[in-house]
Each structure stands twice: as C-alpha cells, then as structure tokens.
Amino acid sequence: MPFLTRMPINRRRRGGAKLLASPQAMHAAVAAAFPPGAPTPAGHGRVLWRVDSPTADTHHLYVVSSIEPDLSHIVEQAGWQTGEMWQTRDYAPVIDAIDAGQRYRFRLRANPVYSGRSTPNEQTSLRAHRSVKHQESWLESRAQRGGFLIPDGSRDDALLRVVDRGVMRFGRRGTAVTIAYATFDGVLEVVDPDALRHTLVAGLGRAKAYGCGLLTLAPLVSPAS
C-alpha cells in the first residue's frame, strides 16, 4: 500500500536551512524515517522524495513510500512544534482512480540525462541536458513509457514548462557528485493507467535518492470553474 506524505520545512531553523541546502542531508533524513531493512513490496522502487518551494519562505517535503514514515526527527530539527507537523495519507485511492484519457496537472523534478560522447574515441557516458528545449524533449521521450503523454497545445497553454533548473554539487564518500535537475510543471493525459501507477510509486529517471523522480498529480481545474 503506497503512502503520500507532506511536511512543511522551516528554513529559518538551522536544521531546516541545512536540509534545504543539501540533497545528501535530506536523503539521509528521509531514509531515517523508516526502520532498517523495511520491506519494499513488488512494484515499488526506493522511497521517493521531493522538495517544493513555491515561495522563498514556503518549503514542503513530499515523500512517497510503501510504509508510513516517522518524520519526528525532521520535525525536531527542521519543522514546527505546533500545528500539523506532517500529513500522511493512503495513496491507493488516488492511484486506483486513474483511468485512460484523464488529464491532470503534474509536477516532476527530474535528472534529464542522455548517453553520449564528445569524440569517436571517447567512452560513452551519461551527460546532462542543459537547455530547456532538450530537457522538455527528454520528458516527452519518456512519457509514453511512463503511461502518459503531454497534450498538444501552444506555449500560451503552459502544458509543459520548466519552472526551475540547476545543478546540485556535493561530496559522497570522497567523490564529487554533480547532478543536473529540472523541475517540470504542466498537464498530462493518461494513456496507460497501469504504467502511470507504476511511475507514481517507482519514479521517473535517475537520481531518485537525491530528490529527483517523484511525479505528483493534481486535479485539472478549468479557468471557468
């Protein structure tokens, strides 16, 4: 049974600022929300997480997992001690309601990469897509396998936008790690419900341990409503 968790992060606390600045620290904090050796049911990948920051002072941690997390330790260092500290809900009713032809608003932070080389003699390696055009093309090329498509529309329709992009740099076990990311907002249409359900719990693309890959959906509200 999958769960979706949402927790506000207080960036004005030292612990909150540290977690927001370090994907490695956030990865460790999220991992500590689950007991060691926690089982992963078939069809579920690793725990997925993402931080959304709609404003400079508003930051939310989202987690998708196969068991309920205990985020008490994150609240102690980076949350608020009053109000709703975090909210976890059963994700199954949302996932089970997905049907072909439905449209949703979506958000995804991903690591758009491709396999290539600069010269014929160079070994093939993973390289980051740097331009918005190539990042959008990366998502569109993986959409069908993920169970959805991006509907046709003009740029004014905002059916697909890169709203944030950059590079994360940090050290891991004595090695420098560089991860390019892009945050996508837009509209998707369901073409394969089972494939999309799998994408929602297993993620899309690489760098899932560091806040990439979590696709979330929201109801598509028309301008007239």
Query: Cα(158)–Cα(98) distance, rounded to whole angstroms?
Result: 22
Query: Cβ(15)–Cβ(177) under 8 Å?
Result: no
Query: Cα(45)–Cα(41) distance, rounded to whole angstroms?
Result: 8
Residue-wise DSSP of 27-50 = HHHHHTTS-TT----TT--SPEEE
The number of C-alpha atoms within 13 Å of 23 and in the hemisphere containing its C-beta is: 24
DSSP state of 208: G
Joined tokens for residue 132: 């918005």
Residue 140: its pLDDT value, please? Answer: 94
Residue 94: its pLDDT value, please? Answer: 95
Residue 21: its pLDDT value, please? Answer: 94
User: Could you tell me which residues come within 8 angstroms of residue 142 by beta carbon, excluding any fewer than 6 positions away?
Assistant: 204, 205
Residue 225: its pLDDT value, please? Answer: 41
Full pLDDT tens readout for the chain, 225 residues: 799 999 999 999 999 999 999 999 999 999 999 998 765 544 455 899 999 998 888 999 999 999 999 999 999 999 988 878 999 999 999 999 999 999 999 999 999 998 876 666 777 777 888 899 999 999 999 999 999 999 986 455 668 999 999 999 888 778 888 999 999 999 999 999 999 999 999 999 999 999 999 999 999 875 544
Residue 5: its pLDDT value, please? Answer: 97
Domains (ranges, CATH) in the chain?
A: 3-95 (3.30.70), 98-219 (3.30.70.1210)
C-alpha distances in Å from residue 58, one per residue of 43, 52, 61, 79, 86: 33, 8, 10, 12, 14
